[in-house]
Amino acid sequence: MSITSYVRSAVSPAKAYKLSPRQIHEDSIFLNLNESPYSLVPKAQAVLESFKTGNRYPDFSQVELRSVIGDYVGFAPERIACGAGLDDVFQILATLFIEPGKEVIISNPTFGMYETFFPLHGAKIVDVPIGPAPDFALDVDGIIGAINDNTAMVIVCNPNNPTGTFFPLEQIERLCENVSCPVAIDEAYAEFSAEHHLEFANKHDNAIVLRTLSKFAGLAGYRVGYGIFPEDMVPYVSAATPAFANVSGLSAAIAIACLEDLDTLKANRDEQVAERERVTSLLNEIEGVTAYPSSTNFVLFKLVDEETATSALAALAARHIYVRHYPQANLNIADHLRVSIGLPHENTAFLNALEETLANGGTS
């Protein structure tokens, strides 16, 4: 019998999460993965240069990291679980809640990892799509109506990736109040938004707030994410988390140093938010482009049709400027592109290139 016949049926290569390999050129401008464009804050850079204890295991249970994160968000460290990026915290959610055949409710278009990852654990994805542009409204009643005895969890991404929309807090609150299953609120982009859900983690015993240091703190390459779990879940969460939370000693030390320099992180964030507003209004000045308001570090914009979006994507890539396209028919945004906010000169280079490309019929 072939070795592959032993692989669980939930694991399908056809459904793997795919990203194109990074094209590295001297002048590449990466605006496709919502990364931070800033280098490490000085304190974290100093940690990186002096870190010498890679032969030792990290702090068991990442007590110090969880305590520094706890101080940052205002929760006891026991309520915090860490992982190697937020993607890895999804693993804790799956270990806690997913049995084969259980349902996970999501609202497309949203972060693609939910749809790829949870089915690996046998979950069935139930999509209650958000409404059309420009509102991209969350269908709270649709989600409540989709709950049944088989529901393992609802995941809401707020602010939502890739639309950039912030669903009003009252709606998320209504959702938490009207369902008894866990509601995981992915607020990976919380620091770029005027509002967040931290207080829900105290008010609602089914709310789990998910965050990452990849975006605001610029640590995408170091892989540190976390979740804030309900008080009653604490012993279960710690049983479901690997001994060192999959966070390396170096990544933990860098994350701690970053969170001790919040002034620099906030100044970077403020510049990005100002740039986001500049990019949004300049995009809207380009003929044939409609950009939507965003509460994140990226902007989704519509082009006249799918063909224009595909050719603009290729023309930008030919100039080594990378943005994101979502061709999947079920997402209904194939005529859109998503651009991450980079440094001011990168954003300007993108805007100029897009304008020129569209003026040339999207071909160069």
Residues binding ligand PLP (CB under 6 A): 34, 85-87, 111, 157, 161, 186, 188, 212, 214, 220, 225
Question: Any bridge partners for residue 225, and if so which?
Answer: 83, 212
DSSP state of 52: -
Do 237 and 229 form a contact (C-beta atoms < 8 A)?
Answer: yes
Please, what is the minimum distance in Å from the beta carbon of residue 48 to ligand PLP?
A: 18
- By beta-carbon proximity to ligand PLP, the closer residue of 69 and 188 is 188
Do 325 and 337 form a contact (C-beta atoms < 8 A)?
Answer: yes
Please, what is the minimum distance in Å from the beta carbon of residue 78 to ligand PLP?
A: 21
- By beta-carbon proximity to ligand PLP, the closer residue of 298 and 362 is 298
Please, what is the minimum distance in Å from the beta carbon of residue 190 to ligand PLP?
A: 10
- By beta-carbon proximity to ligand PLP, the closer residue of 35 and 357 is 35
Please, what is the minimum distance in Å from the beta carbon of residue 161 to ligand PLP?
A: 4
Q: Computed from CA positions of residues 118, 124, 130, 133, in that sequence, does the dihedral angle turn out positive or negative?
A: positive
How many helices (H) and strands (E) would you count in the chain?
Answer: 12, 12
Cα–Cα distance, 309 to 307 (Å, whole number): 5
Instruction: Give every strand in the sheet of 151-157, ordered side by side.
Output: 80-83, 225-228, 207-212, 183-186, 151-157, 103-106, 124-127
Question: Any bridge partners for residue 336, and if so which?
Answer: 302
Q: SS3 helix, strand, coil % of the chain, rounded to 5? A: 45, 15, 45
Q: Shortest CA distance to 280 belongs to which of 194, 231, 350, 210?
A: 350
Please, what is the minimum distance in Å from the beta carbon of residue 212 to ligand PLP?
A: 3
- By beta-carbon proximity to ligand PLP, the closer residue of 40 and 353 is 40
- By beta-carbon proximity to ligand PLP, the closer residue of 78 and 87 is 87
Q: Shortest CA distance to 107 belongs to which of 132, 78, 85?
A: 132
Cα–Cα distance, 200 to 183 (Å, whole number): 10
Question: Any bridge partners for residue 209, and if so which?
Answer: 185, 228
**Phi and psi, residue 218, nearest 5°:** 70, 30
**Phi and psi, residue 332, nearest 5°:** 65, 25
Establish whether the linkage from the previous residue to 134 is cis, with ω within 30° of 0: yes
- By beta-carbon proximity to ligand PLP, the closer residue of 218 and 225 is 225
- By beta-carbon proximity to ligand PLP, the closer residue of 81 and 282 is 81
- By beta-carbon proximity to ligand PLP, the closer residue of 253 and 282 is 253
Please, what is the minimum distance in Å from the beta carbon of residue 216 to ligand PLP?
A: 11
Please, what is the minimum distance in Å from the beta carbon of residue 184 to ligand PLP?
A: 10
Please, what is the minimum distance in Å from the beta carbon of residue 149 to ligand PLP?
A: 28
- The closest residue (CB) to ligand PLP is 85
